[in-house]
Structure 1
Amino acid sequence: MSLLHTPLYDLCVQANARMTAFSGWEMPVQFSSIKQEHTAVRSSVGLFDISHMGKFILTGDNVLRSLQQLVPSDLGKLAPGKAQYTVLLNPQGGIIDDLIIYDEGEQVTLIVNAGTTDKDKSWLLEHLSDVNLQDNSQTQALIAVQGPKAVETLQLITDVDLSTIRRYNHTYGQVLGSQAFLARTGYTGEDGFEVMVDAAAAPGIWQALQEKGAEPCGLGARDTLRLEAAMALYGQDINDDTTPLEGGLGWLVHLDQVPDFIGRDVLAQQQADGVTRRLVGLQLEGRNIARHDYPIVQADQPIGIVTSGTLSPTLGYPVALAYVPVELAKIGSVVNVKIRQKTVLATVVKRPFYKAAA
């Protein structure tokens, strides 16, 4: 099966980006180096091609009311121009995907993960029989502009006053003369915008932002940035077998406000009884890096699992996300991580590991 290419693929190749297969797409891992790109986002402004993400537009009568049966978050709090990060749940309370719902009044936009686009689409069509779904995943480009200078950089090529758009709000406007969807959301732990435009407009916007000082960044830096911010990666940190209460996403579960949604009974029982495991943040001793699927052990027996880990470029020490028994999930608890043939101590620490200055 051949890999899909985003509208920015040719520009990435021309820039000598290292490319890789990712969720059915050929995507840039890095342009210069992961550390340089990571630092650019933390200190200035970085640019990401995220056109591989799934993009759906839902229309019909009472779309949000229909969607409410699929997510545990109270969508009644949404209003035109606002957005909600949440999760789709299966009957077991497991996470089908994490996504962002954008309320546009007469329609709703959903941005979902690239690897789950087809699965999500099938699930939505199965359960939203009275809603029309338009799949723009391959006709629209999506560019993330992230970092402390992201807003001022994007402002140079748009007619929208970006200062009026609050975090997790969105609007439409002109970007370099093209109609664009602009959302103050992101996946790096920094301020910034995600810009969705027709495929043909994307290369010009990408080049213009580079000319204004934005550094192109690949999936490598995107991963280290989101991990420092303790943002979950679907398929690693959360999946169909983890519930939001186990995966550190309990703040998305509004049982008091939402009387009925798929998986509610399981979450209500978990909330009443307590979970047996929980996703926590770890800081490892020395410079030992815990990778995905490394076991957490006790008396040399596996009791948990690492889901993501890296040497934090910003903090200078190794961090990880891992599932541990709930009795070891308290801040300050010490656990043992099996790294190849040795056991390394790790301390449960507060998440996120990194938080941008206000």
Structure 2
Amino acid sequence: MSDFETGEDTVETGTLPLDAWHRAQGARMVEFAGYHMPIQYEGIIAEHLWTRENAGLFDVSHMGQLMVSGAGAAEALEKLMPGDFSALGEGRMRYSLLLDEDGGIIDDLMVTNTGGHLALVVNGACKWEDFGFLREHLPDDITLTHHEDQALVALQGPKAVDALSRLVPMAADLKFMQSGLADWDGVPLYISRSGYTGEDGYEISLPADAAEKFAEALVAMDEVKPIGLGARDSLRLEAGLPLYGHDLTTASDPVTSGLTFAISKRRRTEGGFHGAERILDLLANGGPTRRVGLALEGRMAAREGARVYAGEREIGTVTSGGFSPTLEHPIAMAQVDAAHAETGTALEVEQRGKRLPATVVKLPFVPPKYVR
């Protein structure tokens, strides 16, 4: 398990459409992003390895599903993000970054052209802040809708395509970062071939009142098991994918965070997005730090906040860390001085008063298996 935050239940904690279903499946529930969420069923490592070899069903309904519509919606979003949404074809999606006026990262998110509007999926922990920021900065004639009545589930793993295409044949025709509308037993599904585990898989948006029936249909298949957020976090860490609030904050920028691919080619020339001058300067000249992967020796994992050293000099901080079930040794992501960010650089991480040997390695730790 890596830097996945849990906390004590409070009376304010919300419930998601599949709450009772998770409990009936034997899930251990925790508070996360303001909701009761399943962190594990039979164990994080077992669920992690199952997803790598089969298909895991994740409930990600805590995430925010937003719709942006109206004439000029793409251009309006381009003022707040570095993506090229005007050229985004119908059924195509793009990873992007919501930026404050100085180019700091408010959130990372997915933007999809559904044909009639642009759909955004944002992180659950900051969805209300995102909604407020968008409402403040988008023109009044752009409509922003929050789909609170929609559930969102992810089916991830090498056998996800086999399982989902039994219910929805069109799923097999989608490639990575493509999406489309389908019908299952009278239930409208919006399916994208995407996810945040590094595995092939899908995210499916559907009416909340149909979520339990759909989940039951999937887990009835031999290759599908429900998987908790603990394994989702260890999978995304192995995939080298940043977690907002940990690896990314408003103090982060796309360049030093290693997310330059989110700055579309046209935007690198034209700019015109929040913080463009600073970000394009960093893109041209480099920044003082870089997000890197660290492979650690031994069995002790480095956790978020652990200090990173080159000799006696402190040169960075761990932003996510944990034990890798796939690689069978601890791994971490850290923000370190650019002078010590080259692959192969020997460093140390201080954890519980001990110095742990670490080596800078290329991200991702485990190669992705996307179907392009």
Same fold judged by TM-score > 0.5?
A: yes
Deviations 1:212-236 (A, max 9, x none): 1311011100000000000110000
Check the 8 A contact 1:7/1:199 in 2, yes or no.
Answer: yes
The alpha-carbon deviation at position 118 of structure 1 amounts to 0.6
| Bigger Cα displacement from structure 2, 228-237 vs 60-69 | 60-69
The alpha-carbon distance between structure 1 residues 241 and 101, as it changes in their structure 2 partners (threshold 3 A), is same
Q: What's the secondary structure of 2:255's corresponding residue?
A: coil
Q: Which amino acid aligns with 1:278?
A: R
5+ long unaligned stretches in structure 1 = none
Q: What's the secondary structure of 1:156's corresponding residue?
A: helix
The alpha-carbon deviation at position 297 of structure 1 amounts to 2.3
Picking from 327, 330, 345, the partner of 1:333 is 345
Q: Which amino acid aligns with 2:164?
A: L
Q: Which amino acid aligns with 2:251?
A: D
The alpha-carbon distance between structure 1 residues 187 and 274, as it changes in their structure 2 partners (threshold 3 A), is same
Residue 195 of structure 2 is matched in structure 1 by 186
CA distance in 1, matches of 2:342, 2:103: 24
CA distance in 2, matches of 1:233, 1:187: 10
Q: Which amino acid aligns with 2:208?
A: A
CA distance in 1, matches of 2:21, 2:321: 30
Deviations 1:119-155 (A, max 9, x none): 100111111122101111x311001000000011011
Picking from 52, 76, 79, the partner of 1:69 is 79
The alpha-carbon deviation at position 300 of structure 1 amounts to 4.1
The alpha-carbon deviation at position 36 of structure 1 amounts to 1.1
Residue 318 of structure 2 is matched in structure 1 by 306
CA distance in 1, matches of 2:170, 2:68: 27
Residue 276 of structure 1 is matched in structure 2 by 288
User: Pairwise mapping of residues 155-304 of structure 1 onto structure 2 (< 5 A)?
Assistant: 155-158=165-168, 160-213=169-222, 214-254=224-264, 255-304=267-316
The alpha-carbon deviation at position 286 of structure 1 amounts to 1.6
Residue 89 of structure 1 is matched in structure 2 by 99
TM-score, length basis structure 2: 0.93
The alpha-carbon deviation at position 258 of structure 1 amounts to 3.9
The alpha-carbon deviation at position 238 of structure 1 amounts to 0.6
Check the 8 A contact 1:72/1:258 in 2, yes or no.
Answer: no
| Bigger Cα displacement from structure 2, 33-42 vs 246-255 | 246-255
CA distance in 2, matches of 1:271, 1:230: 21
Q: Which amino acid aligns with 1:195?
A: I
Q: What's the secondary structure of 2:128's corresponding residue?
A: helix
CA distance in 1, matches of 2:155, 2:270: 34
CA RMSD between the two structures: 1.3
Q: Which amino acid aligns with 1:12?
A: H
Q: Which amino acid aligns with 1:228?
A: E
Matched, 1:139 2:186: no
Check the 8 A contact 1:331/1:349 in 2, yes or no.
Answer: yes
**Number of positions where the alignment pairs a residue of Structure 1 with one of Structure 2:** 356
Check the 8 A contact 2:268/2:280 in 1, yes or no.
Answer: no
CA distance in 2, matches of 1:10, 1:329: 46
Check the 8 A contact 1:69/1:260 in 2, yes or no.
Answer: yes
CA distance in 2, matches of 1:177, 1:229: 35
Deviations 1:129-188 (A, max 9, x none): 22101111x311001000000011011112x42222111010001124311100111011
| Bigger Cα displacement from structure 2, 21-30 vs 302-311 | 302-311
Q: What's the secondary structure of 2:79's corresponding residue?
A: helix
Picking from 103, 111, 115, the partner of 1:101 is 111
Deviations 1:27-60 (A, max 9, x none): 0000111011111110000000001000001110
CA distance in 1, matches of 2:159, 2:42: 20
The alpha-carbon deviation at position 80 of structure 1 amounts to 0.6
Check the 8 A contact 1:140/1:197 in 2, yes or no.
Answer: yes
Check the 8 A contact 2:165/2:172 in 1, yes or no.
Answer: no
5+ long unaligned stretches in structure 2 = 1-10
CA distance in 2, matches of 1:165, 1:309: 33
CA distance in 2, matches of 1:176, 1:250: 41
CA distance in 2, matches of 1:150, 1:229: 18
The alpha-carbon deviation at position 321 of structure 1 amounts to 0.2
Check the 8 A contact 1:101/1:109 in 2, yes or no.
Answer: yes
Residue 355 of structure 2 is matched in structure 1 by 343
| Bigger Cα displacement from structure 2, 68-77 vs 146-155 | 68-77
Picking from 44, 55, 58, the partner of 1:45 is 55
TM-score, length basis structure 1: 0.96
Picking from 33, 36, 39, the partner of 2:46 is 36
Q: What's the secondary structure of 1:174's corresponding residue?
A: strand
* Fraction of identical pairs, as percent: 38
The alpha-carbon distance between structure 1 residues 258 and 215, as it changes in their structure 2 partners (threshold 3 A), is farther
The alpha-carbon deviation at position 76 of structure 1 amounts to 3.4
